Amino acid sequence: MASIQYILKRLLLMIPTFFLVMIIIFLLVRFLPGDPAIAIAGDRASDADLEAIRERLGLNQPMLVQFWLFVTNTLQGDLGRSILLRAPVIDVIFDRLPTTIFLTLYAVTLSLLIAGPLAFVAALNRNKWPDAVIRTVFQVGLSMPVFYIGLILLTFLAAQLRWFPVGGYGDTFVERLHHMFLPSVTVALYTSAIIMRNLRSAIIEVLDAEYVQFARAKGLPDRLVLGRHVLRNALISTVTLLGLSIGNLMSGTLVTETVFAVPGVGRLMLEAIFARDYPLIQGLTLTFAVLVSVVFLLTDLFQSTLDPRMRLT
């Protein structure tokens, strides 16, 4: 297991990064065109009302003070109120977040199930026809935009064949698996193309590694050479890769939620952008950054658990 010290060190390193993340988000929103006060109160609000709102939001204060307010409020869990949904941003996000996390985990599982075995088949038959077929198919998959994959699946499997529901989220876990299957496949088809490509070369690299040659020279059966020596080592690169692709995965989730009308934070982000709901945009952008950081952290911990060389830090 990773030591407490390591985790603490890792968390400390995240502080300056998050400071910059906050600056980026703060600056982004400050450059939004239009007066946020008008956006909140509406066009017909009186000057006095607008002034009151500016006062309340601290918009009259100098930039540095505003930033300080933004940071302290955020740390206290106060992300402001959504203009669009007329509710605290933090509540809105926590309401929608589980759906997105469910979709993401579902998609990760599916992409591992798709890419993992195929990467193995391709690597073991390197440069022969199974490899060529698998690589070509994924090459095409990699060139398909997520919204297009989603649209095709939605049209043919849900609307035409009626194998899957067109919308909705489902109440029980099993229902959810059914409802979210097509959105997850959409994200998974895209991410599995990335994973498959990299995993294949990772496996090939491990297969050629001297320790695998040595394991063969020792006379171990193939099952052990692959299962114990190759798989374990390839697993580390897979998890690392998955962790690093979390940004891509989230981007895919955002588009997919829009195509399938899944009520998650991704679709909320687009709604917020079209409504110019700046507290919500701010909160959501921060949420995505936090999600990605958490995944980066988990990846690191997983890696240091699996790889003994990384334990003594």
> Which residues in 216-275 contact another protein (CB under 8 A)?
216-222, 224, 228-229, 232-233, 236, 246-251, 254-255, 258, 269-270, 273-274
Task: State which residue, 23 or 177, has the beta carbon closest to another protein.
Answer: 23
Question: Site residues for another protein, window 22-81 (CB under 8 A)?
Answer: 24, 28-29, 31-33
Interface with another protein by CB under 8 A: which range of 14-22, 40-48, 113-121, 173-181?
14-22
The amino acid sitting at 234 is A
Q: Least CB distance from residue 52 to another protein, whole Å?
A: 26
Residue written as tokens 């890419």? Answer: 115
Question: Site residues for another protein, window 162-221 (CB under 8 A)?
Answer: 208-221
Task: State which residue, 52 or 151, has the beta carbon closest to another protein.
Answer: 151
Task: State which residue, 63 or 224, has the beta carbon closest to another protein.
Answer: 224
Question: Site residues for another protein, window 273-292 (CB under 8 A)?
Answer: 273-274, 276, 281, 284-285, 288-289, 292
Question: Site residues for another protein, window 107-166 (CB under 8 A)?
Answer: 139-140, 142-148, 151-152, 154-155, 159-160
